[in-house]
A and B are shown apart, each in its own frame.
Chain A
């Protein structure tokens, strides 16, 4: 079994990496486009902001005459009082810069990651399954003694790798263009990185969540694609799935789940867990439920896809 799964994976890799236009459109272009667009946006907006700041500074300098020594002393005392009051307020509130930053990133980044994984999956999965049906090449595979489950597993593993690559490209595009979008220099960018107190364990958890999420998204798209007659109808059939994934990715903005059972909902669970990692509120139980559920769903999807490959009505309907 292992051999045939490996054979299918090698063939899918040869197909994907042998097609320069496919690699360009699904791996290089997303990251490159994001980088170019964000950089241009940053450059345009940054120039405007810098102009405004310079203008304000000039107006301020013109308006305020130099302070006397007494005035400066008074101002320093006032600043000290305000600073002490703010620190006490923050201590009572129980939030810190780290918490605020975590909360902000926890709201935004899961949505971004999930949307990028979905678009990466859409770039590769319908062509690899509905496309093979449309071209009649899947029938050639189905007359070999290979098990249908081997074909399904080989497809899902290889497509997940391509979707991850596509998602990674977009992610790199965002990360590399972020300093330019914020219009900050290399030094400030370094300072920004230092200000994000994430550790290796956080990134390892995010990686695990990304892998389990991409498996579930690829599995779902593969099932719709196997059902569809051709790539075009697969695209239409996947639209409701896209809406569900978008909504699930947005949920960290609304709030966290009230019951651990809600972590059984695919994609929603990933979005919530990613948000908890980014906001430094990792809990073990939801994380275990999420990853286990996603793996179980993927196994279920492989079985379902194998059954679909075995169904003449699905594979050969005109």
Chain B
């Protein structure tokens, strides 16, 4: 299998403000969000990242997308370092997370063209790809409606399409079905399978066990910033269903703390 993502010992610690310390119920002014995390993802696979809230999934994905820098370690996306070749990494990935918002004022059509320009996609290719993606997600009927006037589901579909304008080989999706109704969520998950069939590599962070079981080839379990398990779904599950296995692992690690 061809390696497309290699992560080697990345760590990230955040400084907490007084207000954040109060919210987190801690006296420590620092929080280790990701602790010496290493993993590998291969071309054409869907890699699922599972973990409770605050485990470090989003921080890991934000580091891979070069939005934030690791304090230690490095990662290579298709051979480009997230530390020293951030611009090249950004041209190779499609990134979707709830913190990335689209400007309410513009229409999906305008935004698609704008982001295609920024990714340097030639106009003919961009137009053809836009037509395909807009049809697949049913955006074509809303192409000239301002984002402000779209439903939550349609906004998420537009965000997904915008993250794919440059036809990236590696796609990083952080909770892509959060807040979506079942029909829209199904459209999104079906599309992930289509992307996989097209040979794309997908890193997917989610809480939904059934989604991981249905789509992912391999899975990583992250708890308290540490990657505790990283293997094929079968190897991690050890004959049990994923949800039961996840709670077993969680209890083993947290023990009496919970």
A137 contacts which chain B residues (CB < 8 A)?
Answer: 101-103
Q: Is the CB of A135 within 8 A of B118?
A: no
B209 contacts which chain A residues (CB < 8 A)?
Answer: none
A191 contacts which chain B residues (CB < 8 A)?
Answer: none
Smallest beta-carbon distance B20→chain A, Å: 7
A15 partner, pick from B66, B90, B105, B120, beta carbons under 8 A: B105
B93 contacts which chain A residues (CB < 8 A)?
Answer: 143
Cβ of B131 < 8 Å from any Cβ of A? no
Size bracket, chain A contacts: 20 to 34
Cβ of A316 < 8 Å from any Cβ of B? yes
Interface string of B87-123 (1 = CB under 8 A from A): 1101101010001111111100010001101111000
Task: Tell me the chain A residues, 1-34 only, with Cβ under 8 Å from chain B.
Answer: 3-4, 7, 11, 14-15, 18-19
B119 partner, pick from A14, A18, A19, A145, beta carbons under 8 A: A145
Smallest beta-carbon distance B63→chain A, Å: 10
Cβ of B253 < 8 Å from any Cβ of A? no
A288 contacts which chain B residues (CB < 8 A)?
Answer: none
Cβ of A197 < 8 Å from any Cβ of B? no
A144 partner, pick from B99, B103, B106, B118, beta carbons under 8 A: B118
Q: Is the CB of A312 within 8 A of B101?
A: no
Contact of A135 with B65 at beta-carbon distance under 8 Å, contacts A14-B110, A318-B20 already known: no
A4 contacts which chain B residues (CB < 8 A)?
Answer: 117-118
Interface string of A221-249 (1 = CB under 8 A from B): 00000000000000000000000000000
Cβ of B69 < 8 Å from any Cβ of A? yes
Contact of A312 with B119 at beta-carbon distance under 8 Å, contacts A19-B105, A137-B102, A145-B91 already known: no
A141 contacts which chain B residues (CB < 8 A)?
Answer: 118
Please measure, in the bound complex, the distance between the C-alpha atom of A142 and the C-alpha atom of B67, giving whole angstroms. Answer: 7
| B118 nearest in chain A by CB position | A144
Cβ of B194 < 8 Å from any Cβ of A? no
Smallest beta-carbon distance A229→chain B, Å: 12
| A312 nearest in chain B by CB position | B68
Smallest beta-carbon distance B157→chain A, Å: 15
Q: Is the CB of A144 within 8 A of B90?
A: yes
A14 contacts which chain B residues (CB < 8 A)?
Answer: 106, 110
Q: Is the CB of A139 within 8 A of B101?
A: yes
Q: Is the CB of B100 within 8 A of A139?
A: yes
Please measure, in the bound complex, the distance between the C-alpha atom of A142 and the C-alpha atom of B104, giving whole angstroms. Answer: 17
A7 partner, pick from B67, B68, B69, B117, beta carbons under 8 A: B117
Q: Is the CB of A146 within 8 A of B68?
A: no
Q: Is the CB of A140 within 8 A of B100?
A: yes
| A313 nearest in chain B by CB position | B15
Q: Is the CB of A145 within 8 A of B90?
A: yes
A140 contacts which chain B residues (CB < 8 A)?
Answer: 100-102, 162
Please measure, in the bound complex, the distance between the C-alpha atom of A15 and the C-alpha atom of B93, giving whole angstroms. Answer: 27
Q: Is the CB of A139 within 8 A of B87?
A: no
| B91 nearest in chain A by CB position | A145
Cβ of A147 < 8 Å from any Cβ of B? yes
Cβ of A300 < 8 Å from any Cβ of B? no
Smallest beta-carbon distance A308→chain B, Å: 14
Q: Is the CB of B105 within 8 A of A136?
A: no
Q: Is the CB of A316 within 8 A of B68?
A: yes
Please measure, in the bound complex, the distance between the C-alpha atom of A229 and the C-alpha atom of B119, giving whole angstroms. Answer: 28
Contact of A312 with B69 at beta-carbon distance under 8 Å, contacts A135-B103, A144-B119 already known: yes
Q: Is the CB of B87 within 8 A of A135?
A: no
Please measure, in the bound complex, the distance between the C-alpha atom of A144 and the C-alpha atom of B168, giving whole angstroms. Answer: 12
Smallest beta-carbon distance A100→chain B, Å: 51
A selection of 26 A-B contacts at a CB cut-off of 8 Å is A3-B117, A4-B118, A11-B114, A15-B103, A15-B106, A18-B105, A135-B103, A136-B99, A139-B67, A139-B99, A140-B101, A140-B162, A141-B118, A142-B67, A143-B65, A143-B90, A143-B93, A144-B90, A144-B115, A144-B119, A145-B88, A145-B90, A145-B118, A145-B120, A312-B67, A318-B20
Q: Nearest 3 A-B pairs (CB), nearest first?
A: A136-B101, A145-B91, A312-B68
Question: Beyond A135-B104, A140-B100: 8 further Cβ-contacts under 8 Å?
Answer: A7-B114, A7-B117, A11-B114, A15-B106, A140-B102, A144-B115, A145-B90, A145-B91
